[in-house]
Amino acid sequence: MQIVNFCILTCNINLSFEKKLNIKQTSILNILCYKTAYLRILFNVYALLQKTFCTDFLTKKKKINEGEIPQYYVKNSHEAIIEPEIFEAVQNEIKARDNLGRSTIHIFSSKLVCDDCGSYFGSKLWHSTDKYRCRIWRCNNKFKNKIKCRTPHLKEGQIKNIFVMAFNKLMSDKSGVIADCRAVLEKFCDTSEFNDKIEKLINEKDEIEKCAKELVLKNAKTPLDQDVYNEEYNKFLAKFENIKQKILDLEKQKAGQILKKCQAEAFLKKISKTENFLKEFNEELWFTLVKNITVKSNGASTVVFKNGKEVEVEI
Ligand SMILES: [Zn+2]
């Protein structure tokens, strides 16, 4: 990773964050603890395409993309400020947390799932004022349901152990995991089918736009019956909107596939250069590799990795 000169970024966006930050020295948790908005700016400046899009096919009016259409992280389009796999992992975390409407960020937030009721685990501080003070994680709905959830609470050290054990189990078949990842990558690499469909629809859209313009010009030169004109115009508009929606849907699907490919790439890259045996918890690996952990009432836990592999461990 490289030292990032945040001065360049912050002077334009007028944010009072540290002017220089060495990402290498900053844990992922710390990165996540920075304001989400700041992260968005950071990543937008460097990595996103389609920051604006056309909202009106006649006036070509542009609008800032606020999530209406997909944005893409373009690898190697500029000097990397953060390793792509970390970028992906952090961005996915932000997305996942945004979707859940959560503002507080902890590395275990929205990661532990209660097998009894499907709720996430939340953290509680026990004995906050005495020497037995500790933070535990337990089902957020443990006492809210008619039948009390039987899943145990977990201390942070236990969660870390679960990850370490599951990782070591997963890596016992490292070559198999790598082969699976490569197969997934191969499957998701080809976006030509989407591209062909999108190109065809763009041509159709352009044709409708052309016809609509001709109609407008014709009406300007020789006023037509306005009811007929409006009916014709609205037909073009409806067709245009319909095609635009189809393009957006395909772009979304394509972006989803690219995201899966990026995740598989990140996963593959991370495990390829990681020792097979992990002695202690590693936050970057946690973020890059773990989708979630299902905690069961019998004390076992299933770690679901982002490559789809599930590993059961007992604590
Ligand atoms: Zn529960």
78 has pLDDT over 70: no
Distance from Cα 315 to the centre of ligand 1, integer Å: 18
Bridge partners of 301, per DSSP, are 295, 313
Distance from Cα 310 to the centre of ligand 1, integer Å: 20
Q: Which has the higher per-residue pLDDT, 215 or 31? A: 215
pTM exceeds cut of 0.75 = no
pLDDT above 90 as % of the chain: 30
Residue 66: per-residue pLDDT: 59
Distance from Cα 99 to the centre of ligand 1, integer Å: 20
Distance from Cα 161 to the centre of ligand 1, integer Å: 21
**CA distances from residue 134 to 114, 205, 218, 224 in whole angstroms, order as listed:** 21, 60, 76, 78
Query: Which among 244, 238, 242 is positioned nearest to 68, based on CA atoms?
Result: 244
Distance from Cα 201 to the centre of ligand 1, integer Å: 47
In this predicted model, what pLDDT tens digit does every residue of 213-256 receive, in sequence order? 888 888 888 878 888 888 999 999 999 999 999 998 998 888 88
Residue 270: per-residue pLDDT: 85
Distance from Cα 147 to the centre of ligand 1, integer Å: 9
**Burial label, 68 (beta-carbon count in 10 A; 0-12, 13-18, 19+):** exposed
Distance from Cα 140 to the centre of ligand 1, integer Å: 7
Give the mean model confidence (pLDDT) for residues 1-21.
32
Distance from Cα 117 to the centre of ligand 1, integer Å: 4
Distance from Cα 119 to the centre of ligand 1, integer Å: 5
Q: Which of these ranges, 13-27, 121-135, 138-152, has the smallest mean pLDDT? A: 13-27
Give the mean model confidence (pLDDT) for residues 24-34.
43
Q: Is 312 helix (H, G, I), strand (E, B) or coil?
A: strand
Distance from Cα 297 to the centre of ligand 1, integer Å: 9
Distance from Cα 150 to the centre of ligand 1, integer Å: 7
Q: How confident is the model at residue 201 (pLDDT cuts 50, 70, 90)?
A: very high
- As a whole number of angstroms, the distance between CA 59 and CA 174 comes to 55
